Every structure is written in structure tokens, then in C-alpha cells.
Structure 1
Amino acid sequence: LFSFIFQDIDYGDISDRQRLRKELHCRNFSWLLSTHADHKFVYHKDVFGYGSLCNPSQPHYCLLRDPNVPEYRKLLTALLHIPGPISSSRWANMFALTRTGLLRKDWICVRLRRIHPYWVFSNHMVDLFECPNDYEEPEERQWWLEWQKDQSRRIKAAQLVSPLSGAQAVRTTAHRNAHFRWAYDERNGKLINAETGECLDSIAGFAPLPKPCIDGLPSQEWRFSHTVTGSGNTIVSILHVALATAPRKLLLSSCNCPQGHQISAAKEDSESIFRAETKLANISPLTLLKMLIFVS
């Protein structure tokens, strides 16, 4: 479950054990999880990013579950922001952002909670609480995917005008448990709450708070130590920039592309850009690179 933090450890010669496993036709650990522990959260499965979640402008300052509260005590838990990059002996600062919008640490999730309206710093705070158990229902999952896709389009459209902007374009929602949901602006590293549209903000040594999103504010930038590759996000971003800077049109039909992916998008037509990105989301990076052909 936490295998990625032990990958650099020298565990010696295990060839005899590997040979024995092969002779006995042993199943792997993934089989054990899927067959007998499918309820267990796996940090690197079906997520955008995982590991330590830190602020680049404040070196070694990362989100951390309050170490003074037992891990499996089912009560709300403080979310801190103190020094401590991830290590094999300190896994209290391991988080993952799931495809369903949960900023999760095992069975507990970061949620936004309303507090006294006259508190000087914010009308809300964030803490860790037991994750909702209905987020994997098909209708809930589909709703979030559609909402997130729409917000991604809005963010990218705003970033065409100003690269540091985008978070303010998010449309908030009152959908159930929206206070548990977080959208991630990969370009600027902002974590945006779905209920309020506010960004997770923190100053070194203080508990993080949701605050209005501000373009280019260093305290609102968050980066995972591990990101999931193969999703095509990086290539799609490159294509998006190419579309924005094309002198006339990006004519994708001129290359040897799969049927159904021959798209022509004009710079001035942001909706064409959105449609192009949607259709290109599942194309391999190599194919996308071949499609970056400008013709006058």
C-alpha cells in the first residue's frame, strides 16, 4: 500500500525467494488486495497524484495529519502544514487526489467545514474526516467526471488570456458532499474546493485554510511528490498551447491520425479547443506529437 516509499531500499539478494514463488505459482500482492481487501485504499491507483503534498515556495513544508491523534480513531483530525518531506518512517504526510475528487489519506479525507462567520481569517476551515462511502457509486462518479471536465475547460480558457489565472473560472456546486471535493489546476498547482471555489492556502507553520484564489500566489501552489503518468495531460497541455499560438489553424487532418480524431481548430474559437482536447484525451502521446503539425 505504501510500496513507493520503499523502492530505494536495498533489501539484498532475494533470488531464492523469487524462484520459490515461481515454483509454487504464488499470486502477487495485487491479487490479495483485489480479492480479499478490495476496500483498502491504494495510494497510486486511480489517482492524479500521490505521496507528500508540499508547497514549492516553502521548502520541505508539506501537509501532515496531526501525529498526536491515533490514525484509526474515527474522529475529525487536524490538518497541519509543517516541515517534513515524506520518508519511510514518516508516512503521516502521504496523501492522494483521487479521480473522484477526494484529497485522501487512507480512510480519511480533507474536507471544508463552515465555522463562525465572524472569524477574521476565513468563514471555513479544513480538517480530516472519514471519507464519504458513496463516491464510487456509478452515478456519483459520472457526475464528478462531468463537473470536473467542465471546470477544466473553464480554467484552460481563462489561462489562454492569462497563464497564471484560471481558478476563478470554476463554477461552484451544491451537490451533496461537495465540501469534500477538490479540483486540481495542474498548471498552477491550485487545489480548488468544489463547494466554495476557494483555494487551499497556507503559510509555513500554520494550518491551511481555504481562501479566495489569487493568481500567482505562492502559498496556493501544491505539488505531489509522485504524479501519475500515461494520462496524456502533459501532451494535451502542449497541444492546448499550440492551438492558442497557431498563426491561422492547426490542421490535424493532414497527419496519419486515427479515424474520428481529424480535427481542425481555430485560435479564436475556444469551443473548438475544448472539443479537440476532449477527443484527444485518450490518444497515445506519440500520436499526439505526430498531430502537432502546423500548416499555413
Structure 2
Amino acid sequence: IDSKYFEEIGTYDEGMTVWGGENLEMAWRVWMCGGRLVHLPCSHLGHIPRSQPYSFPGGRRRVEVYNYKRAVEVWVDPEYRQFIYDHFEEMKDLSTGDLSARLQLKNNLQCKNFTWFIDNVWPELFIYNRDVKAWGSLQNMHDPRCLDNHQYLFQAPERLFFEACHFKLATQGFSLTNDNLLRTSLQCVVLKENKEGSRPMLEDCIIGPRDKWTHVKNGYIKHERTGLCLDVDPAGVVAMTCTPGSKSQQWKFTRYV
């Protein structure tokens, strides 16, 4: 990006404080207002952090959430905002300050809407309550804890956790899709070993395996390839031979479609 284009596209949002959120805001703005972002193979980028001769009013987390809220209210269509606020409840009732200048910039640049962005730039985006059979927290009927992803965001396999239920989608949001994937926003639940006693894992849904699961409402969750059922033991979630009537193999989602 050169300085001329940076100025034409609206520089930074001066209503944001300190830092955090400006990278996401600018990415949305560039794509939706006629530009594009590209990967340059074999390129190198250096980032030298400076000291912090500034403070975060109200704490760093509050500053970042405030900045993200400004970006969301300007660039995300109203029908999509609730999905974000469901995951980040602290953002929902936070004030954004005056957005009139950024909304005017969006109008002046004749920017496209967020639906266009999803359809053309990010078609892989998974929306947790669309094209699904069930969604929300997934709770065991015997040991009333829930599956938990610990907000894992990376591609390498990670274990699936079993924690006290708090029913917040950011860490305990799971969906059973119409094509029988059991997944979070980014990861799918998979079995790496095709044997009884194996531990379910979270793995990237795009580049990793896409194991399929069958679920009976308020009942078992069966791994289609192995025929094993999700169960619980003192160490957490485990795949075991299906046992009719076993309470520890019965699960319920918060919502069924």
C-alpha cells in the first residue's frame, strides 16, 4: 500500500484508541471499497515492537473490544452483527462513539456491503446457526458438563475439552451441520485413531479431515466411520463402543432446528 492510496481509502479510523482492530477494519475497507489484498510468496516482513509510552484507558482488553465494535458497526451488515455479539458478549452494549465520519467515508467510496464480502472474499466462513441440524453448547446428560474448545484458533490438532457449562459460544459453541460435521467456527471434531478409547480432537475443517457424526436428539453422537459413540470418563471425552441406554453417551444441544 502506498501513501496516496492509504489516504484515498481513508487512512486509519481516528475514533479508535491506542491500537487493536485497525488491521481488521482496514482489511474489510480495502476489499469492500474496490481494493484487494494479496499474498506475496517468499516475501519477508519485519515487525519491530517499540516500547509502550502510552496506556490503555480501562485496560487493554476494553480498548481492543471498543475498537472492534467500531469496525463491526461500520462495516458489518446488521443481520451479521448478532453473530459477533453472541460470541463476544462484552462488545454488545459497549458504546462506539461517533461513527458519522466513517459511515460518510463508506458512502463516499461507494463501498459494497458485508454480504458481498462473504460471498466473494470469504465464502468459507461458517455461520454457526445456518445449514445446521443443531447448535449451541453440547452438554452430556450423565455428567452435566459441556464440550469446550478453549477458543482454539489454529490448524494443528488440539484436544477437545470437557468443562463446566457456561453456555458462551466463544468457547462452548458447537454445531452439527446438515452434512453431519460436528464443528466450531474453524475446527471439526475428528478421531485420529480408529479404535475404542481414542480421544476426539479439534482439527482445521478446511485442510484437515472432515469426519461425519450422527446424532439422535438428546441421545448418542456416533462417529460414522468407526461406529463409536462419544462418551465421557474421568479424563474427559472419549470414543467408546455404543451402549444403548448409556446416560454417559447421551448428549443435548442448546438448540435444535
- What TM-score does the superposition give when structure 1 sets the normalisation length? 0.47
| Equivalent in the alignment of 2:163 | 82
| Equivalent in the alignment of 1:155 | none
| Equivalent in the alignment of 1:182 | 213
Taking a change above 3 Å as real, the CA distance of residues 3 and 193 of structure 1, as seen in their structure-2 partners, is same
- Alignment equivalent of 1:196, drawn from 212, 226, 234: 226
Q: What displacement does 1:125 show?
A: 2.5
8 A contact 2:228–2:242 mirrored in 1: yes
Q: What displacement does 1:86 show?
A: 2.3
Q: What displacement does 1:112 show?
A: 1.3
Taking a change above 3 Å as real, the CA distance of residues 13 and 130 of structure 1, as seen in their structure-2 partners, is closer
| Equivalent in the alignment of 1:57 | 142
Taking a change above 3 Å as real, the CA distance of residues 129 and 7 of structure 1, as seen in their structure-2 partners, is closer
Q: What displacement does 1:47 show?
A: 0.9
Q: What displacement does 1:196 show?
A: 1.6
- Alignment equivalent of 1:35, drawn from 106, 120, 129: 120
- Alignment equivalent of 1:47, drawn from 132, 141, 147: 132
| Equivalent in the alignment of 2:205 | 131
Q: What displacement does 1:85 show?
A: 1.9
8 A contact 2:212–2:223 mirrored in 1: yes
Matches within 5 A, 1:1-296: 1-5=83-87, 9-10=92-93, 29-59=114-144, 61-66=145-150, 71-72=153-154, 74-87=155-168, 91-114=170-193, 122-131=196-205, 180-186=211-217, 188-203=218-233, 206-228=235-257
**Mapped partners of 2:118, 2:159: distance in 1:** 29
What RMSD in Å do the two structures reach over aligned CA positions?
Answer: 3.4
Provide structure 1 residue ranges, at least 5 long, that are not aligned to the other structure: 135-176, 229-296
Q: What displacement does 1:210 show?
A: 1.1
In structure 1, give the amino acid aligned to 2:181. L
Q: What displacement does 1:76 show?
A: 0.9
